[in-house]
A and B are shown apart, each in its own frame.
Chain A
Amino acid sequence: MAEQKFIFESIQDSETIKSYLESIITGIAKKKIVLSTDGEDITLHPNGLLKLTVKARKKADKNRISIKMAWTDERARLGDHNKTIEINS
């Protein structure tokens, strides 16, 4: 399956960023996040076990916080388990 990508970059005040993050939180709660641009959609289903990484960095007056979520879709995991192992000698 071809890789799908979505990138959104913006400069905003914290109030607006809060509203963006809230939209994502609503998506997490519904277990469905739809991201679209140029009529192409990426639909993500955050379900089951998710890995959350929060990284922060402060150097002089420059600050960074990154929040990363990663998971594997359930169906893909099941697919892996159902594979038959063949041993030939």
Chain B
Amino acid sequence: MPILSSLDENFRFIILEVAEQVDTTCSFMQSNDDKLFERIVSRDDYIDNLKSVIENIIFSKIHLEHSLDQKAVNNIRAQNTICSNLEKIADFCVNIVRQVGHIKDHSCLDEFECQQFFEEIRKCFPLILPVLQKGDLTKALIICEAELNLDRLYKHNFDLVMAKLRVENEPEDLITLLFIFRYLERIGDSLLNIGEALLYAILGEKIKITQFEALQKTLTKSGLTESLHKLRYETYWGTRSGCNISRIISGDPINELRAQDGIFKGGITKKIRAEKENLERWHKILPSLTPRIISYHEEAGKAAMLMQFMSGLTMEEVALTCDEDVVAGALNRLEITFLDIWTGTLVATPSKSDYTGQLLARLNNVKTVHPLLFKNTMQLSGKAICSTFELIRRAALVENQLAAPFTVFIHGDCNANNIIFNQETRTIHFIDLYRSRQADYLQDISVLLVSFFRMPLLAGPIRERINWIIEHILYSSKTFAADNNDQTFDTRLALGLARSFITSTRFELNSEFAKEMFLRGLYLLEKISLLKEGEIKEFTLPHDVLYY
């Protein structure tokens, strides 16, 4: 990884200057020499300037040098992050020496382990350039680890200060010392940012050290012995699940061994473990439907899982980009898959419906994004119009009398992006299964129908196709309902659709389309809320609500 010349020069300078600043700060704490104080304060201005110079070089390089390849750009971006954090460290040094000035009795410093902090910090600076030049992962991890060690030192010294504060009557110096330790601990945070920037330069993707450690352990457990350098790591941005999801591609990018590709998922144990257990359950129901678990790892409230990568197109991609015969084939396979799952997992025990409950749970999030969609009570020339909340309350009263006649094992987050169609094998796969459970099949169908409805093409032949897909799914699930004597299909589906129409608006920033979905949801709720006892089974879902 060659570094660009004048940037290289300045970058080397800032590392040396900040290392020197840390050394001088350490000496000043021991000697309290005024000359050292002045040197630290004046060098800080120089470091600030150096940072600005480097920033200018970096921005002009990224803007003007179009021949830079991705690796060179990644390196420059890492250098920019490192440079900002080095400058922060220099600032912390100035803060520390200013605090030392407030200490009355300097002998109090001897009672604490200040030098250990500095030793931990100092060892990082000589590692930065070699990591950047040679991509040495082990050394990058040493820098990341320094933060952990500094945190431990901070905790230890903090406890010592607290113990002294409890017994001694002179808190002033001890409080000042706490500030000093806090700045030393913050230097650790900056070192961690530097370490993570170096990981970015090596791996080509932004990764937090905790995610990296989890990834490393999961790969080791999976038996993947390849060096992490040789794996390609692509983060999936914009996931809403709160998990970190990345695709791991093994081997040479040109001769990809696709069979070994994996999806790495890391996050809080509860979610990841739920997905693992669901995958195990799915494996018993339909082994080829869901990703195989390659390895799983739990540690300190976090979990990580490496799963098989399911190749193919999502149903959204199929709908928007494929030829009509491929769409028809995918839909046909999807219907057969649903039917297999539903008949294979059907439990004939009624289950209470709770779509309005799910709606209420997310209503505040919707209101945050689209506050103006919510209506208060209105009067239209003598005709009363319910407020949004009142309408939901009334629909909930009707729903209270409703139950799904049976349950099946459901996907749980069945939008078109979480269903994969493999055209070569003509198979359907489910992904993102942490919400799978035994429940009403209309939970999945309502989510799926609205996920097609809200695809961002509002007119033209693709919209006609989306309408056709919706009609297809509606028809096949209605047939299943009739075959299984599900008499409240239309009523439950209307509630499920109303829930999905309204809650989906929180992801929809096109305000006109968000309003369209919201009003469709309200329309369905109004229809349901007007049902009297005995009319629940008679209700017919107005299909038009699903076609745009």
Chain A residues with CB under 8 Å of chain B are: 8-13, 19-20, 23-24, 26-27, 33-38, 41
Contacts and interface: CB of A to CB of B under 8 A. Distances in A.
B522 interface: yes
A24 B377 CA distance: 18
B59 to A, nearest CB: 47
A37 B381 contact: no
Contacts of B379: 34-37, 41
A33 B381 contact: yes
B523 A24 contact: no
Contacts of A26: 381-382
A72 to B, nearest CB: 20
A19 B542 CA distance: 18
Given A8-B385, A20-B383, A23-B383, A13 B542 contact: yes
B383 A19 contact: yes
A35 B522 CA distance: 20
A20 B380 contact: yes
Nearest to A25: B381
Given A19-B383, A34-B382, A10 B523 contact: yes
Instruction: Give the 9 A-B CB pairs with smallest separation, nearest first.
Output: A27-B381, A23-B383, A11-B519, A36-B379, A23-B381, A37-B378, A11-B523, A33-B381, A24-B381
Interface of A is mostly: mixed
A8 B381 contact: no
Interface residues of B, number: 18
Nearest to B373: A9
Contacts of B522: 10-11
Contact of B376 (A12, A20, A35, A37): A37
A79 to B, nearest CB: 27
B520 interface: yes
Nearest to A41: B379
A26 B383 CA distance: 11
30 contacts: A8-B378, A8-B380, A8-B385, A9-B519, A10-B385, A10-B522, A10-B523, A11-B516, A11-B519, A11-B523, A11-B545, A12-B523, A20-B380, A23-B380, A23-B382, A23-B383, A24-B380, A24-B381, A26-B381, A27-B381, A33-B381, A34-B379, A34-B381, A34-B382, A35-B379, A35-B380, A36-B378, A36-B379, A37-B375, A37-B379
Contacts of A27: 381-382
A13 B522 CA distance: 12
Contacts of A33: 381
Contacts of B519: 9-11
Contacts of A10: 385, 519, 522-523
Contacts of A35: 378-381
B281 interface: no
B523 A37 contact: no
B515 interface: yes
Contacts of B376: 37-38
B35 to A, nearest CB: 70
